[in-house]
Amino acid sequence: MTHSLHRRGTKENLARDYVLLCLPAVGINDKDHDPKLAEFLRICMKYNPLNIGAIQLGNMYSHKTEDVIKAAHGIVHAVFNSPKTVTAVLNDLKKADLGMSIVVSGIFENVDQALAEAGLKHHTANFSLGIWGKTEKLPSNEILEVTTMCGHALVAANLVKEMVKEVKAGRKTALDAGKLLAAQCACGIFNPERAAELITAMAKK
């Protein structure tokens, strides 16, 4: 089960949000895997990702990109806003043949199209079953569309609300607010551009 699975949103705004994960299988191909994960990140960097992260360190909004790549271990991530870009990255990864598992998270039809154009098929599909329990205690759905982009719940709902206030007052741009929120997401799957769109919409209300 991937922590990128629970993103909330509309089909329209999720169509600009794709997460790639790269990881070894423990006990099978994890020996000397760090250089392979670093190469995955280098390949992703060729296509101007919205974010990259290494679980051992953080993401490109909290650390230098070179340091994130050097810290590659266990699992690494990259975020893109276009299925065409995902296809291009997958083509390069196919040629690189790193021997690592690659997970692509996004709207199923779009991901499958990207895979098909790269000459690939998905091996396994995971679905989120949603949130169970006392859902009335949750923040509003528009806030959850932002916070669920961090699968480890490190982006606080109140911080999102504060960013909306800052943008509404003209003290921050929506993209700066999105980048500030992205810095909180340790593994780097947060999409700051999508966050900026969502914050802008909330600030207009």
- How far is it, in rounded angstroms, from Cα 100 to Cα 132? 33
Whether 104 and 151 share a structural domain: no
Whether 110 and 145 share a structural domain: no
- How far is it, in rounded angstroms, from Cα 83 to Cα 62? 26
Whether 108 and 180 share a structural domain: no
- pLDDT higher than threshold 80 for residue 114: yes
Longest dimension (CA), the chain: 53
pLDDT tens, position by position, 161-202: 999 999 999 999 999 999 999 999 999 999 999 999 999 999
pLDDT (average), residues 18-22: 97
Q: DSSP letter at 12?
A: H
In a domain, 6, yes or no: no
Whether 96 and 33 share a structural domain: yes
Smallest CA-to-CA distance from 73 within 46, 100, 105, 49 is with: 100
Task: Answer yes or no: are the C-beta atoms of 88 and 115 closer than 8 Å.
Answer: no
Q: What's the pTM value of the predicted model, to 2 decimals?
A: 0.94
- pLDDT higher than threshold 90 for residue 3: no
Whether 149 and 68 share a structural domain: no
Whether 112 and 186 share a structural domain: no
Whether 143 and 97 share a structural domain: no
- pLDDT higher than threshold 70 for residue 98: yes
Whether 94 and 164 share a structural domain: no
29 vs 147, which has greater pLDDT? 147
- Boundaries of domain holding 55: 11-117
Whether 142 and 75 share a structural domain: no
Q: What integer pLDDT is reported at residue 1 of this predicted model?
A: 52
Whether 142 and 113 share a structural domain: no
Q: What integer pLDDT is reported at residue 109 of this predicted model?
A: 94
State phi, psi for 191 to the nearest 5 degrees.
Answer: -100, 100
pLDDT (average), residues 24-52: 95
In a domain, 58, yes or no: yes
Number of domains in the chain: 2
Q: What integer pLDDT is reported at residue 27 of this predicted model?
A: 87
State the residue for tokens 């266990």: 74
Smallest CA-to-CA distance from 76 within 89, 93, 59 is with: 59
- pLDDT higher than threshold 80 for residue 2: no
Whether 23 and 101 share a structural domain: yes
Task: Answer yes or no: are the C-beta atoms of 57 and 18 closer than 8 Å.
Answer: no
Helix pair 83-96, 108-117: axis angle to 10 deg = 40
Q: What integer pLDDT is reported at residue 128 of this predicted model?
A: 87
In a domain, 122, yes or no: no
Whether 72 and 144 share a structural domain: no
